[in-house]
Amino acid sequence: MRTKYDKQLTALHDELIAMGALCEAAIQYAVQALRTRDTELAKRTMQGDKEIDQKERIIESACLKLLLEQQPVARDLREVSAALKMVTDLERIGDLAEDIADVSLFLCERPDYTAPEQIDFMVEAATKMVHDSIDAFVANDLAKAHSVMEYDDVVDRLFNEVRTVLVKRIHASMEDAEQAMDIMMVAKYLERIGDHAVNISEWVEFSITGTYKNSRVL
């Protein structure tokens, strides 16, 4: 029984790693499409979200089957329920990458309007957070989960910087107000991706310790 559980759990880990990699790639592609105004890449990124949604369903089915067949208790039950919860955050990350790609289509008519450099830093930070949160789950690495939670401040600070830059730009040339609004949305989407990575890390903490957001749950 234990062996079968371990085998199913390893398969679950592999699926989560694969789904995390798809999400990271989607963020990168979406922002590349924005930067180069590559409408084809934007459309491919948006279609790629279907694959992420499919992974979500595979992982959810796997979790529910694990719960049903193995009826795990204690640490094992926490691990499977954590996976069941975090997959939702991953799926939302995929949706947010799709949202960024969607904005890049709007901006195609204005290839001269470039995003502030902080957007690139946000992409770097958000992608790292997504990667590390999944990594923390698979490796049972509580310290790494905590580092993701702390790193969220970096993304929040960058978000505020983007806002300041964009308001200054509008003051310099109000004709670009629409483009500024769109880039502001991209910054918001990236900030949300960071939030979802934090959520995943909170589930990692729950899985390892049984404590969720400072409360004992199970």
Quick note: the x/- pattern for a second copy over 196-215, rule CB under 8 A, is ----------------xx-x
Q: What is the size of the binding site for a second copy (CB under 8 A)?
A: 35
Burial of 17 (C-beta count, 10 Å sphere; 0-12/13-18/19+): middle
14-73: contacts with a second copy (CB under 8 A): 53-54, 57, 60-61, 64-65, 67-68, 71, 73
Q: Which two tokens stand for residue 217?
A: 């749950």
Q: How far is the CB of 10 from a second copy (least distance, A)?
A: 21
How far is 161 from 103, CA to CA, in rounded Å? 20
Residues in contact with a second copy, shown as a per-residue x/- string from 161 to 190 under the rule CB under 8 A: --x--xx--xx--xx-xx-xx--xx--x--
Distance CA(22)–CA(153), nearest Å, equals 24
Residues 6 or more apart in contact with residue 199 via CB below 8 angstroms: 86, 89
Torsion of Cα atoms, 57 then 59 then 60 then 65, to 10°: 120
The residue type found at 117 is: E
Token pair of 95, please?
A: 């949706």
CB of 97 to a second copy, least distance (A): 15
Q: Which is nearer to a second copy, 114 or 211 (CB)?
A: 211
- Least distance (Å) between residue 23 CB and a second copy: 17
Residue 34: CB atoms within 10 A of its CB come to 27
What is the nearest approach in angstroms of a second copy to the Cβ of residue 167? Answer: 5
Positions in 93-112 near a second copy (CB under 8 A): none
Identify the sign of the CA torsion 5, 8, 14, 20: negative
Using CB under 8 A as the binding rule, whether residue 75 contacts a second copy is answered as no
Q: Is residue 156 part of the contact set for a second copy (CB under 8 A)?
A: no
Q: What residue ranges bind a second copy (CB under 8 A)?
A: 53-54, 57, 60-61, 64-65, 67-68, 71, 73, 77, 81, 84-85, 88, 163, 166-167, 170-171, 174-175, 177-178, 180-181, 184-185, 188, 212-213, 215, 217-218
